[in-house]
């Protein structure tokens, strides 16, 4: 029925409460610990090495997708298409998939995210998807400097701040691997931010705000909130995203943000609902003219325990509460 089961290799479907779909085991360890502490009967499918029979789907009533678009930077390119096919089969078979195929497709496409934000009337960077640098330069109206990102982004991988069209052409000529995994890239309008304030990331569970935090990047692009990627105070990272040679000296910093504006939270809730996200992280920056510019929608939400603890709770326990409530509804 399935291949790639952990932590046990027994057959799915024997009274399980939930099945977690994952690719990055370090990200999942806090969630697995919270599930085990609550005595939840669960299994997990490692999307890096898995197989499924669509005629035998589904075998459990509730699934929780934790796949990441950045799998390809860890050498796990095959995890993403399998995750999408698996979720579609599960949904066609009547299973409930949290952060399912609709949410995952949104996370896989920066241009789709921009389109959604535009439809909702939420300020966002001007963006241009392209598969040819000359066509991109001819069509680009966002000005320079500009950010170059993978269309299928994730974990801040393969992002560059470019100063000119010539720099774009030279970069892609010298690093053709940047076209991977899907031969689509994105130019995005660049907004400088106050270095002391950073950006704001809001985490939502069940479409409602769990907590918000300020993230001080010190020039880094990888702002993944998982402690496996950005440990408290620095230290060894298990992110497996290549670090640029000119990486910032200081580690990324995360601070609880209790005074996040109600209008920002309301916009985040609208994004979650319109995008079909159940659990997710929404990021925005504060432009010099006072506007909030929303620029990233994350369906795979890596929670940060110290931030939740600063607000008086374990964020992974809150996710388990939500999973169990969804299980009871079925």
Q: Which residues of the chain fall short of a pLDDT of 50?
A: 1-14
Residue span(s) of the chain under CATH 3.30.1490.20 come to 126-189
Residues whose CB falls within 8 Å of the CB of residue 236, separated by 6 or more in sequence, listed in order: none
Taking only the tens place, the pLDDT of each residue in 31-73 is 999 999 999 999 999 999 999 999 987 878 999 999 999 899 8
Q: What's residue 229's pLDDT? A: 80
pLDDT at 202: 98
Choosing among 3.30.1490.20, 3.40.50.920, 3.90.1150.10, 3.30.160.70, the CATH entry for 126-189 is 3.30.1490.20
The b/e string for 196-221 (b: 16+ C-beta within 10 A; e otherwise) is eebbbbbbbbbbebbbbbbbbbeebb
Q: Integer distance in angstroms from the first to the last C-alpha of the chain?
A: 22
Pair 245, 165: CB distance under 8 Å: no
Q: Where in the chain is the domain with CATH 3.40.50.20?
A: 2-98
Query: How is residue 125 annotated by DSSP?
Result: -
What confidence score (pLDDT) does residue 233 get?
63
User: What integer pLDDT is reported at residue 15 of this predicted model?
Assistant: 72
Position 13 scores a pLDDT of: 44
Task: Give 249's DSSP letter.
Answer: S
Cβ(155)–Cβ(239) below 8 Å: yes
Q: Which two tokens stand for residue 46?
A: 């490692």
Task: Delimit the CATH 3.30.470.20 region(s) of the chain.
Answer: 199-329
CATH annotation of 199-329: 3.30.470.20
Q: What is the CATH number of domain 2-98?
A: 3.40.50.20
pTM for the structure as a whole: 0.91
b/e code 7-35 from CB counts within 10 Å (16+ = b)? eeeeebeeebbbbbbbbbeebbebbbebb
């Amino acid at each position: 029925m399935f291949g790639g089961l952990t932590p046990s290799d027994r057959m799915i479907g024997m009274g399980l409460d939930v099945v977690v779909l994952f690719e990055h085991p370090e990200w999942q360890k806090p969630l697995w610990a919270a599930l085990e502490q609550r005595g939840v009967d669960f299994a997990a499918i490692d999307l890096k090495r898995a197989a499924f029979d669509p005629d035998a789907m589904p075998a459990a009533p509730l699934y929780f997708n934790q796949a990441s678009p950045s799998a390809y930077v860890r050498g796990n390119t095959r995890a993403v298409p399998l995750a999408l096919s698996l979720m579609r089969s599960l949904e066609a078979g009547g299973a409930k998939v949290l952060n399912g195929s609709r949410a995952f497709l949104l996370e896989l496409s920066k241009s789709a995210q921009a389109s959604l934000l535009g439809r909702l009337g939420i300020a966002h960077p001007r963006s241009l998807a392209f598969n040819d640098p000359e066509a991109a330069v001819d069509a680009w109206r966002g000005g320079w400097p500009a950010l170059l990102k993978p269309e299928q982004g994730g974990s801040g991988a393969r992002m560059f701040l470019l100063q000119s069209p010539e720099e774009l052409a030279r970069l892609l000529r010298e690093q053709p691997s940047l076209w991977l995994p899907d031969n689509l890239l994105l130019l995005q309008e660049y907004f400088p931010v106050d270095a002391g304030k950073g950006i704001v990331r809001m985490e939502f569970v069940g479409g409602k705000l769990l907590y918000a935090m300020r993230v001080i990047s010190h020039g880094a692009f990888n702002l993944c909130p998982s402690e496996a990627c950005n440990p408290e105070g620095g230290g060894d990272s298990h992110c497996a995203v290549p670090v640029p040679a000119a990486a910032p000296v200081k580690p990324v910093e995360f601070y609880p943000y209790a005074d996040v504006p109600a209008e920002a939270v309301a916009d985040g809730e609208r994004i979650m609902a319109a995008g079909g996200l159940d659990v997710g992280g929404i990021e925005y920056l504060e432009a010099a003219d006072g506007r909030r510019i929303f620029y990233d929608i994350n369906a795979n939400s890596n929670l940060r325990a110290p931030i939740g603890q600063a607000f008086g709770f374990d964020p992974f326990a809150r996710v388990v509460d939500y999973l169990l409530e969804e299980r009871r509804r079925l």
